[in-house]
Structure 1
């Protein structure tokens, strides 16, 4: 696995976080790229159009899935996308980051 800074850089993107979330919640893996795009488009748009869903799918294919695969967070095959060897570790980093409440001074 790569360094912590790289993990945080990759997780800074909302669509990449959603890919991990969809995989974590899915009862079946692998998930097709189309299925991921439909799920993510539903998060982003109240009632996604076909064009919006296609744009999400294109964005996943061209940018986001490769970044997650480079971290071993996901594995991409002809069957679809599934958790990779580092999925649980990286998802844990994401979960901790989402639940962390910064301390404020009074």
Structure 2
């Protein structure tokens, strides 16, 4: 029980930092900061905040390229009983799920050198 209280406190502390320092500028906050915040909310079963953050980012036409985030947002909508919203998000980002995984993440420069 004690660890659960600690976990919830950490999520709330992260939320307070987000709201006070970062969340007001959703048009310019890097995705590298948005992804972990969505994950914190999701992991702590705060689905309303997952949805609110994601909708805020979408309002600025910010789109994730991470299918894990799309899945979490879809799950959050489902938990909240918003199945149509879940379907909308999955449809909007379906191209992320159709991509084939890259075998390696080599830069173009590295690939060009290896062909010489």
User: What range is the shorter-chain TM-score in?
Assistant: under 0.3
Which structure is higher in RCO with an 8 Å CA cutoff and minimum separation 6?
1
Larger strand share, 1 or 2: 1
Larger helix share, 1 or 2: 2
Higher Rg: 2
Could you tell me the TM-score, scaled by structure 2's length?
0.26
